[in-house]
Amino acid sequence: MGDYEIVQDNDPRCAELEAAGYRVVAESWAVRLFDPDRELLESAVLRATAGGLTIRELGAESARELHELEKSNEPDYPYTPATHRVVGELAETRALWPEHRVFGAFDGNRLVGATVIRAKDGFGDTRFTSVLSTHRRRGVAQAVKAASILALLDIGITRFSTGGAAANQASLQANQSLGYKLTEHWRTYAP
C-alpha cells in the first residue's frame, strides 16, 4: 500500500498523522449483525420476488454468469487503498466454490444481482455484493443478502460481518436496512 496509513477513526494515531501533514484520502466501514430478525430478512426477499425477481442460491455452474455480472459492475466499484475489488478471470470466479456460497437475483433468465458469503471465524462474512446498474435502488442487494443470511441461519450461524468503502453509501444503507450495525470506521491517510 505504499505510503498509505489505514487506521480506525478512534485511533490516537489519527491526530499524529494529521499533525504530520497526512490527509484523509478515503474512508471505509465495517458492520456486524447479531441474531438477525428472520421476519425482516424474509420480507426483503418477498419484496424482490413480488417485484418479479427470482432469488436463489447459485452453484458453480453459474460461475460464468456471476463473472459477467461482476465484469459489468467492475467500473462502478469504489477504489481505495483499503477497499478495492478486482474481478479477475473466470477461473478466479469459479474458485469461489465450495468455500463460498453465492445467492443471486434473476430478472427472467438474467442474473442481475448476487452476493458471496462464507462462514469464517464463526461469522457469516460477505465477500461482495453486486447489482447491475439497471436494477439498483430496487431492493436487489437487500434480497440477495437476506437470502444468504437466512441460509446461514439454517446451519446455525447467527453472527454476520461485512464492510465497504464510505463512498458507497448505498451499500452501507442496504446492510443497515437488514439490521447490520456500524462497528468500525476507518480512515486512509496519505502524506
Domain boundaries, the chain: 5-190
Is this structure's pTM higher than 0.85?
Answer: yes
Chain centroid to CA 154: 20
* Over residues 147-172, mean pLDDT: 95
Distance CA 26, CA 77 (A): 14
Contacts of 169 (CB under 8 A, 6+ apart): none
Of 1-5, 100-104, 109-113, give the lowest mean pLDDT range.
Answer: 1-5
Q: Please give the helix or strand (H or E) that residue 102 lies within, else none.
A: strand 101-107
Distance CA 71, CA 36 (A): 31
Of 79-83, 104-108, 116-120, give the lowest mean pLDDT range.
Answer: 79-83
* Over residues 81-93, mean pLDDT: 89
The region that residue 52 occupies, defined by phi over 0 for left and psi between -120 and 50 for alpha, beta otherwise, is left
Distance CA 128, CA 99 (A): 14
pLDDT bin (cut points 50, 70, 90) of residue 1 is: very low
Contacts of 167 (CB under 8 A, 6+ apart): 26, 27, 78, 80
Residues 161 and 125: beta-carbon distance below 8 Å: yes
* Over residues 30-54, mean pLDDT: 97
* Over residues 72-85, mean pLDDT: 86
Cα distances (angstroms) measured from residue 183 to each of 24, 29, 152, 172: 20, 8, 21, 12
* Over residues 158-180, mean pLDDT: 94
Quick check: 5 pLDDT over 60? yes
- Predicted pLDDT of residue 29: 95
CA angle 157, 161, 142 (to 5 degrees): 90
The DSSP string of 19-73 is HTT-EEEEEEEEEEEES--HHHHHHHHHHHHHTT-EEEEE-GGGHHHHHHHHHHH
pLDDT bin (cut points 50, 70, 90) of residue 2 is: low
CATH 3.40.630.30 fits 5-190, yes or no: yes
Q: In this structure, which amino acid lies at residue 38? A: R
Q: Please give the helix or strand (H or E) that residue 7 lies within, else none.
A: strand 5-8
